Amino acid sequence: MPSWPAETKYISQSTPRVDGEAKVTGRARYSSDIQAEGWLYGMILRAKWPSAKISSVNLDKALAVPGIKAAVVVRDGAFTIRYYGEEIAAVAGTSKQACLDALRVIEVTADVHHEFVVNESEARKENSPRVWENSPNAPTNPHVRENGKVDDAFAECAAVIEGFYSTAVQIHHPMETMGNTVSWTDDGLKAWSSTQGISSVRDGFAGALKLDHSKVRVITDYMGGGFGAKFGAGAEGVLAAKLSQAAKAPVRLMLTRFDQALAVGNRPSSFQKIKLGAKADGTLLAFDAENYGTAGIGAGGDGGGGGGGADIPMPYLYKVANTRVKQSAVAVNAGASRAFRAPGNPPASYGMESALDDLAVKMGMDPVELRLKNDPNPIRQREYKLGAEKFGWQAKYKKPGSSAGVVKTGVGCAAGAWPAGGASRNTQGEAQINPDGSIEFRLGVQDIGTGTRTVIAVVAAEILQLKPAQITVRVGDTNFPPGPGSGGSTTCPSISPTVFDICNKALEQLQTQSGIADARGENWFTACKKLGVNPLVVHGQWQQGLSADHACGVQFAEVEVDTETGFVSVKKIMGVHDCGLIVNQLTLESQINGGIIMGMGYALYEERVMDDLSGVVLNPNFETYKLPGIGDVPEIEIVLINMPERGVIGIGEPATVPTAAAIANAVANAIGVRVFSLPITPAKVLAALGKAPPATA
């Protein structure tokens, strides 16, 4: 079994990202920066109604707009629109201005339906308008999972709490919207895609356009974030391809921010009715939950990333002997969900960890103690103890609502995990070692901002005893040996062992060919020179024993709540996380910060707001859909548990899981009452305090 070196020079240290210079100088070419020879601008026309039957789309006037080279309808014949923002047609022209003009003159003949539903609880009613004609919005038989004797067990509990905890639909909103530049000619299709999965995009194009995989090449040099939404070719990709074919020119079609908010994925909402009971010593005995949420018109749209459904893991991290869980997804007339950073986990953590805190309060127990009593995971046990000590939990935790004054302080904690993850065992890669000693790695993965190139350079530099700057890394091309999509926190544990294998095979061959016993470090150039004229190309693949899965984490939050305005200010978050062997500490820190900040948005700001009467999304851009800004971000303190013996584990998802629950618990601790739904807006805080009427649903 291979193993990572015990003493390291680069692994577990901090190397600035190798593509940092390209990114801070503007030299990095993102998918939306591609200017292929003769390229055209592309834009999409979207439905302005939540429900309609389109009988015809006339593109003649659009095609007559000066500069317009092609226009296509999303599909032939009549078709049904099921949500505000669904694609109808697309145009390509020599400028954005021409496209804007053309979209305005497309004639759509539509029978607009006035019966639709965008509200989850309305959609569940029997007489609700149907999103899909042939099936009810909510299943008549929800999934039920039952262990033990739940009803009997509640009778034996010393304390029981009940709560209805809900979370809102969250939009991915990567800073670079989705889209591609597509060139489709008789020779095949080439797409520069803003994607997390070059292979799944290749397969998506091939499938939708009936092309051989070998005729499709996908390139992603740089892309501006994905968070689970960017795995497929997408309707926008297919439309760009059709426009390219019709116009006989490459078409760059990037979504507008409005498009992004309406049609390309989100995290489903959740409405969790939870009943939780424990014995007098705090041992959880009974759990009864019913959850529903909406994935819009359907779950896991535009796959490749999988997941994204409305079901969540309950009772999350805890083993409760008597458990009953009933779940159902509810269809509404809104854009479909997609996998979103740790699908299912943040809402599950929010519901369960909130219920745990409410139970702790009812029992007069310290929330950390209640968790130590019930969390079966030894690593989290350690993390809670360590974190509580460093955070100063004992001194900071006070009776709920007991702090003096108008601005009240509170603390909270919560746990998360990412039970999936692990590695993609098919990951492959190659390195070309040139006689001049330069070396280039080629892996068919992509860097979504996590530092994939840097991880490859760090691992290679460590094994070859070179410097990371000496390693050239090329990723983001389906012509390279295949790697995984960047999802499920699998990239780092997939590529690190692969690079390890390539390096060892390269050394073996180089040593044989050069006759130098150890080609590493200072002997590297001498050995490479002996290759003569031909470079050495070495292929490697993922190896067992160098990576693992199931990262954990606990977080502590400290907040201030103004009880006159309802405004919540997060003062501090401490994240105690493990991810096996730390590969590069600097970029790891960035990912954990990012997870925490995204979780903070989920806790306090982010919500897709639908208008029940018109069926439109009311906040489809950043002035109304609020993301955390630099002024909102608290002090973040990270404690990393390094466990080299476990091998490499991804951190992207686990870091974002517990944040919202920890903040929600801190708010409840500050004001002495619970706000039962995310995001915790000032209005909800004031309503919980009885200072304002509750919002009408």
Partner 1 sequence: MKNSEPENIGAHSRRTFFKSLGTVAATAATSQVRTIGAELEKINSEKIIGPGPVPVTLTVNGEKLKLMIEPRVTLLDALRNYSSLTGAKEGCDRATCGACTVLLGDTPIYSCQKLAIEAQGIEITTVEGLAKDKRLSKVQLAFIEKDALQCGYCTPGFVMSVTALLKKNFHPTADDVKHACAGNLCRCGCHPHILQAALKAAGVEHAAKTEVITYA
Q: Which stretch binds partner 1 (CB under 8 A): 184-192, 520-528, 542-550, 592-600?
A: 592-600
When binding is defined by CB under 8 A, the residue of 597, 604, 663, 668 that contacts partner 1 is 597
Which tokens hold the place of 97?
């201005």
Looking at residues 84 to 103 of the shown chain, list those that interact with partner 1 (rule: CB under 8 A). 95-97
Beta strands 52-58 and 107-112, pairing class: antiparallel
> Is 24 among the residues that bind partner 1 (CB under 8 A)?
yes
When binding is defined by CB under 8 A, the residue of 23, 125, 143, 467 that contacts partner 1 is 23
Q: Choose among 321, 349, 395, 329: nearest CA to 153.
A: 321
When binding is defined by CB under 8 A, the residue of 77, 376, 405, 631 that contacts partner 1 is 631
Looking at residues 248 to 267 of the shown chain, list those that interact with partner 1 (rule: CB under 8 A). 254, 256-257
Q: Which stretch binds partner 1 (CB under 8 A): 29-37, 76-84, 243-251, 673-681?
A: 29-37
When binding is defined by CB under 8 A, the residue of 375, 578, 607, 653 that contacts partner 1 is 578
Q: What is the number of residues in the chain?
A: 697
Q: SS3 string of 148-201?
A: CCHHHHHHHCCEEEEEEEEECCECCCCCCCCEEEEEEECCEEEEEECCCCHHHH
Smallest distance, partner 1 to C-beta of residue 16, A? 5
When binding is defined by CB under 8 A, the residue of 8, 585, 614, 619 that contacts partner 1 is 585
Letters for 367-386 (x = contact with partner 1 by CB under 8 A, - = none) are ------------x--x---x
Q: Which is nearer to partner 1, 98 or 241 (CB)?
A: 98
Smallest distance, partner 1 to C-beta of residue 692, A? 28
Strand order in the sheet with 188-193: 68-73, 87-93, 40-46, 251-254, 179-185, 188-193, 216-219
Q: Which is nearer to partner 1, 481 or 634 (CB)?
A: 634
Locate all alpha helices (DSSP H) within 211-338, ordered by sequence: 234-247, 257-263
Task: Return the residue matching tokens 């993965």.
Answer: 445
Q: What are phi and psi of 385, to 5 degrees?
A: -65, -45
Smallest distance, partner 1 to C-beta of residue 440, A? 22
Q: Which is nearer to partner 1, 215 or 572 (CB)?
A: 572
> Is 29 among the residues that bind partner 1 (CB under 8 A)?
yes
Residue 230 CB partners (closer than 8 Å, separation 6+): 174, 178, 194, 195, 196, 197, 223, 448
> Is 628 among the residues that bind partner 1 (CB under 8 A)?
yes
Q: Which stretch binds partner 1 (CB under 8 A): 161-169, 411-419, 589-597, 672-680?
A: 589-597
When binding is defined by CB under 8 A, the residue of 129, 139, 142, 225 that contacts partner 1 is 225
Per the CB < 8 A criterion, the answer to whether 20 and 54 are in contact is no
> Is 453 among the residues that bind partner 1 (CB under 8 A)?
no
> Is 587 among the residues that bind partner 1 (CB under 8 A)?
yes
Task: Return the residue matching tokens 């019709």.
Answer: 246
When binding is defined by CB under 8 A, the residue of 449, 468, 481, 650 that contacts partner 1 is 449
Per the CB < 8 A criterion, the answer to whether 607 and 169 are in contact is yes
Q: Which is nearer to partner 1, 331 or 597 (CB)?
A: 597
Q: How far is it, in rounded angstroms, from Cα 194 to Cα 212?
A: 21
Per the CB < 8 A criterion, the answer to whether 448 and 195 are in contact is no
Q: How far is it, in rounded angstroms, from Cα 224 to Cα 178?
A: 9
Q: SS3 string of 471-522?
A: EEEEECECCCCECCCCCCCCHHHHHHHHHHHHHHHHHHHHHHHHCCCCCCHH
Element (H, E) at 92: strand 87-93
> Is 460 among the residues that bind partner 1 (CB under 8 A)?
no
> Is 554 among the residues that bind partner 1 (CB under 8 A)?
no
Smallest distance, partner 1 to C-beta of residue 378, A? 10
Q: Which is nearer to partner 1, 175 or 537 (CB)?
A: 175
CA 552 to chain centroid, in Å, comes to 17
Letters for 111-150 (x = contact with partner 1 by CB under 8 A, - = none) are ----------------------------------------
> Is 26 among the residues that bind partner 1 (CB under 8 A)?
yes
Q: SS3 string of 233-250?
A: CHHHHHHHHHHHHHHCCC
Q: Which stretch binds partner 1 (CB under 8 A): 22-30, 124-132, 400-408, 529-537?
A: 22-30
Beta strands 143-147 and 68-73, pairing class: unpaired
Task: For 31-51, give the DSSP string.
Answer: GGG---TT-EEEEEEE-SSSS
> Is 596 among the residues that bind partner 1 (CB under 8 A)?
yes
Q: Give how many residues touch partner 1 by CB under 8 A.
A: 74
> Is 389 among the residues that bind partner 1 (CB under 8 A)?
no
> Is 595 among the residues that bind partner 1 (CB under 8 A)?
yes
Q: Which is nearer to partner 1, 222 or 542 (CB)?
A: 222
Q: Which stretch binds partner 1 (CB under 8 A): 267-275, 306-314, 448-456, 610-618?
A: 448-456
Looking at residues 642 to 681 of the shown chain, list those that interact with partner 1 (rule: CB under 8 A). 642-643
